């Protein structure tokens, strides 16, 4: 009986040792990243023990379109407005810019632009405020200042900035193209309307252009007297304006200097 008990104890001891050995072996293999189980990829073939993450390439965003002065595409001026004085009136009467809307009159100035009522084709006699509320324009050209140039030029430039702000508030999505005031001839007889004052004013208002939504367009080189300081007297009968043929040329020049994003 005693021997039988000893035999049972030995068997149990051996079983316990075997179980402990198995557990120790499994723990060791697990700690070393290996085991007895085959490394299958789940698709009938042997795969890697560690999955390799695929890194997707970063897409390069397309470049932002940049503005360029170029030939106007067809229909470009159908949503364009040109604001101006007697020089713009000459363009309206002589040039052929298809689809454009004009808000202009002889003697119009920076200060009075928002208060004067003007006859506008297809809209009747309206103020600038009213016109800006009737249609969403894509481009707004502005050439004003020559009729106000007799006062303080810096103050006039500030008033021009206020005019731009009011136009922007009414037409937040429009491109604004500031047109430089055309110079007069060097012999033009006026105490206040001088090329020095015109050049100073043009320089000041050119700073409003950011070349993103506001642009500056200077026609003076087209009609320059060759010195870069005045209007060519051979094409200006009064020293201030140009004749019909030059207004046609001016209109063509505007159409060849459209702001297009490419």
Among the residue ranges 139-143, 185-189, 195-199, 205-209, the one predicted with the least confidence is: 185-189
- Local structure of 83: helix, strand or coil: strand
Q: What is the pLDDT of residue 87?
A: 98
* pLDDT at 2 > cutoff 80: no
- At 105, is the pLDDT very low, low, confident or very high (cuts 50, 70, 90)? very high
Q: Which fold has domain 73-261?
A: Rossmann fold (3.40.50)
Residue ranges per structural domain of the chain = 73-261
> Average of pLDDT values for 34-40?
45
Residues of the chain above pLDDT 90, percent: 70
d(CA 212, CA 1): 106
Q: What is the pLDDT of residue 189?
A: 84
* pLDDT at 1 > cutoff 70: no
- Contact predicate 108/116, CB 8 Å: yes
Q: What is the pLDDT of residue 38?
A: 45
Neighbours of 26 (CB within 10 A): 12
Task: Look up the pTM and report it.
Answer: 0.76
Q: What is the pLDDT of residue 114?
A: 92
Sheet with 139-143: strands ordered across:
101-104, 80-84, 139-143, 175-179, 214-217
> Average of pLDDT values for 224-239?
94
d(CA 162, CA 50): 67
Q: What is the pLDDT of residue 61?
A: 73
Helices and strands in the chain: count of H runs, count of E runs: 6, 9
pLDDT in tens, 81-99: 999 999 999 999 999 999 9
> Average of pLDDT values for 247-255?
98
Q: What is the pLDDT of residue 31?
A: 52
Q: What are phi and psi for residue 132, nearest 5 degrees?
A: -65, -20
| Average pLDDT of the residues of the chain | 86
- At 26, is the pLDDT very low, low, confident or very high (cuts 50, 70, 90)? low
């Amino acid at each position: 009986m005693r021997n039988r008990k000893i035999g049972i104890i030995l068997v149990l001891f051996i079983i316990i040792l075997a179980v402990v050995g198995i557990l120790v072996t499994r723990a060791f293999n697990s700690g070393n990243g290996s085991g007895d189980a085959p490394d299958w990829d789940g698709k009938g073939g042997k795969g890697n023990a560690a999955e390799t993450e695929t890194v997707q390439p970063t897409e390069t965003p397309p470049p932002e379109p940049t503005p360029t002065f170029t030939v106007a595409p067809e229909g470009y001026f159908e949503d364009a407005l040109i604001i101006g004085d007697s020089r713009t009136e000459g363009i309206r009467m002589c040039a052929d810019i298809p689809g454009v809307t004009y808000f202009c009159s002889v003697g119009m100035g920076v200060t009075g632009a928002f208060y004067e009522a003007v006859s506008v084709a297809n809209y009747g006699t309206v103020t600038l405020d009213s016109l800006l509320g009737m249609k969403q324009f894509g481009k707004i050209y502005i050439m004003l200042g020559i009729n106000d140039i007799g006062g303080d030029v810096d103050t006039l430039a500030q008033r021009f900035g206020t005019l731009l702000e009011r136009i922007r508030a009414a037409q937040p999505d429009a491109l604004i193209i500031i047109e430089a005031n055309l110079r007069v001839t060097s012999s033009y007889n006026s105490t206040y309307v001088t090329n020095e004052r015109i050049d100073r004013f043009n320089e000041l208002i050119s700073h409003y252009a950011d070349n993103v939504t506001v642009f500056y367009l200077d026609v003076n080189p087209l009609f320059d007297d060759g010195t870069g300081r005045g209007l060519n007297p051979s094409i200006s009968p009064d020293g201030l304006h140009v004749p019909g043929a030059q207004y046609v040329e001016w209109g063509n020049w505007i159409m060849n200097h459209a702001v297009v994003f490419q």
